[in-house]
Structure 1
């Protein structure tokens, strides 16, 4: 009975050993085979991929080479055609331009040679009003008598007053008026050149320019204003409101002929005001204020060190306040103001309707208020504009029972008023800079005849009384 279990156990041991040996062999051989197969598959895949990529890249590169070669060929052809066309068009344009330029130059030169050549020579363009006299306008005109063909040459001096901006001109109505026009015949000369020559500059010009040069001479009348212009606004266009002087030379059969621009020449000049400095007159103004419920008054006195101040010179105002009243004075302000008066005499000799009589009465009262002249048989049209050009506000105060004496300095400069529309300025030539308009000084006996723009300045002192 004991022999059988022993044999069974031995058999089982042998089976287990065999199984383990077989299992070891299988586990060793199978992975090896699998790995070998995988290696073969990977190698085959890599080889196939390399072959495919090589073929594909070769095909793509060939196609790209063909496309690039075709694009380059097409681009070369297109550029060649375009450049050829452009060069042909440019050649045609240049040829046409040269032909047109030759024709235009021929026509212009022909016209210029057929038109009278006029040149005006003047020693200066600013003519000073010295109150007692005005510098005369003189110069020399150079012409070509061969091209005149029997026509005459005239020189005109004119003073024009434009009392409205150019953009206001509507329906053929221009807001301008010729205040003074005088015309002189220069060629054929009515007098000997020696009698018409008035200064050394004219003599030098006549000697330098030769026999085709002729002198001219004009004198200003006493009733003309100086060159003044109102400063336009930023949006204004066209000519501004101004008093302008002009010298014009032209040719024609008679002096009233229509002036051809190609046979004329214009030159703007200025009539400027000069005032000699006088230390004898010291401007002074004083006044007395009486307040309700105050026994004593307030006395204010304003004085200037001199009557004449030149452009760029500071204006010093002496203020004296004697406050004997019961009020306190504060916020004293001093300002310099420019008064511009636009004057024009309208030819209305018959006041046959109520509107004319009323209008004349209103203007007469205004002119009387400002102590300006007026006429009974003509309507004196005037516009007054008062503009502050400089000023200051101080914190000084004058309590009741005290006094103040102080000097205030003002600077009336155009640089501080560049954007002030309607400000009166000295007339300017072209685009050169100018100044605030000079005060108009007119003889008393001719004041009633002056038209245009009259300018004056005044210093104003203002203050606030408590209560």
Structure 2
């Protein structure tokens, strides 16, 4: 049997440390995260030195151009650290590591890092794009790395794990921690809200139902709206929207919402007293319609590749103290406008927006029973081709 591997490679500035990885995206299965495994090639000049490896989660929560007078808006969390050379006596290797070691020779040594189960997903917060002359949306207005959560593997030469390495003997390669949509749907989201009026009889009832709970990026969201007007007020228009919720866990008040899809309609309106209306509204949250909005959360990027709106963050623990990083959620919000004197009536339903599993991959961890699903809890080759190696200079 023949296996074809794509290998990512990066060297230190002096060329004496080289890292090889089979992939740069590592999947969070909720119950566990895929191990980060690869191979490091060490030059003969470093055979009498120690080589250490670390997984660093870099959390940037402020603009780089605002860092003045020693102020720093970035925290680096070391999620895994170990000595790679001299290697331990016994080491369980994967099939890819065995083939790399066979191909690269005796100076190649395997490594495996395991991330903690509560490690945050890779998320980027979109920056503003503005022209300095006429203030049209044309070019980047902010410089430096955008806010977000980033991961990279750090290999260096030193005497201990806490040494400050020299840049010439340091190699860093960016990776991502991602999640995919669960195969099982949760309960169908549905809510009913009512509003009565102090000086008039009857009440206004709004029922909102989604056709399912888990949606894929680019998929239309069907919002079933049922309005029963048993009051003497008149419903003048309906507004439906998808809101992206971003919770920067580092701050006490670091929560905000951004509308990423909206429809405002008067079709079927006005809804007079004693009448009702049932209709389906379709919403599609896409990044292409939100490229000019500051603060929209995006999936983590490697280099300048295309990305999308950030996926919903599924958490293994419901305890807020176990969560850090940036947590993303989505909700459909339907609002009825009753005029200046009648006010408004609003209903809200959370849902999950994620990417599907790639067709070439399957979940490595068996899913639990539906009752324990994190979605239900979300209610509020033998040959090695050297030509396939890609040198990557991004962090």
Distance 1:292 1:115 in 2: 77
1:196 — aligned with what? 92
SS at match of 1:207: helix
CA contact under 8 A between 1:116 and 1:143: conserved in structure 2? no
CA contact under 8 A between 1:141 and 1:213: conserved in structure 2? yes
1:134-192 deviations in Å (ceiling 9; x for gaps): 11111111111x21162111111011111101111111221111234322111111232
1:141 — aligned with what? 40
1:337 — aligned with what? 243
1:54-91 deviations in Å (ceiling 9; x for gaps): xxxxxxxxxxxxxxxxxxxxxxxxxxxxxxxxxxxxxx
Larger Cα-atom Rg: 1
Could you tell me how far 1:435 is from its partner in structure 2?
A: 0.6
2:218 — aligned with what? 312
2:26 equivalent to 1:131: no
2:105 equivalent to 1:210: yes
Q: Structure 1-normalised TM-score?
A: 0.65
Distance 2:72 2:153 in 1: 21
CA contact under 8 A between 2:128 and 2:293: conserved in structure 1? yes
Could you tell me how far 1:457 is from its partner in structure 2?
A: 0.7
Q: Would the alpha carbon gap of residues 391 and 123 (structure 1) be closer, same or farther in structure 2, given more than 3 Å must change?
A: same
Q: Would the alpha carbon gap of residues 113 and 416 (structure 1) be closer, same or farther in structure 2, given more than 3 Å must change?
A: closer
Distance 1:122 1:408 in 2: 45
SS at match of 2:216: coil
CA contact under 8 A between 2:13 and 2:169: conserved in structure 1? no
2:258 — aligned with what? 387
Q: Which ranges of structure 1 fall in alignment gaps of 5 or more residues? A: 1-111, 345-379
Q: How does 1:38-77 map to 2 (within 5 A)?
A: none
1:225 — aligned with what? 120
Greater helix percent: which structure?
1
Q: How does 1:71-150 map to 2 (within 5 A)?
A: 115=14, 117-144=16-43, 146-148=44-46, 150=48
- Higher RCO, 1 vs 2 (CA within 8 Å, ≥6 residues apart): 2
2:49 equivalent to 1:151: yes
- Aligned-CA RMSD value: 1.9
Q: Which ranges of structure 2 fall in alignment gaps of 5 or more residues? A: 1-10, 130-140, 342-395
Could you tell me how far 1:382 is from its partner in structure 2?
A: 3.6
Q: Structure 2-normalised TM-score?
A: 0.77
Q: How does 1:394-413 map to 2 (within 5 A)?
A: 394-396=265-267, 397=269, 398-413=271-286
Q: Would the alpha carbon gap of residues 136 and 113 (structure 1) be closer, same or farther in structure 2, given more than 3 Å must change?
A: closer
Q: Would the alpha carbon gap of residues 395 and 176 (structure 1) be closer, same or farther in structure 2, given more than 3 Å must change?
A: same
SS at match of 2:215: coil
Q: Would the alpha carbon gap of residues 135 and 114 (structure 1) be closer, same or farther in structure 2, given more than 3 Å must change?
A: closer
Greater strand percent: which structure?
2
Could you tell me how far 1:323 is from its partner in structure 2?
A: 0.9
2:81 — aligned with what? 183
Distance 2:173 2:243 in 1: 33
1:417 — aligned with what? 290
SS at match of 1:202: helix
Distance 1:138 1:446 in 2: 30
CA contact under 8 A between 1:131 and 1:274: conserved in structure 2? no
Distance 2:163 2:278 in 1: 66
- Alignment coverage as a number of residue pairs: 317
1:321 — aligned with what? 227
Q: Would the alpha carbon gap of residues 114 and 220 (structure 1) be closer, same or farther in structure 2, given more than 3 Å must change?
A: closer
CA contact under 8 A between 1:128 and 1:271: conserved in structure 2? yes
1:396-446 deviations in Å (ceiling 9; x for gaps): 312211111111111100000111111111110010110101111112355
Distance 1:325 1:224 in 2: 50
Distance 1:245 1:114 in 2: 20
Distance 2:165 2:329 in 1: 38
Q: Would the alpha carbon gap of residues 113 and 339 (structure 1) be closer, same or farther in structure 2, given more than 3 Å must change?
A: closer
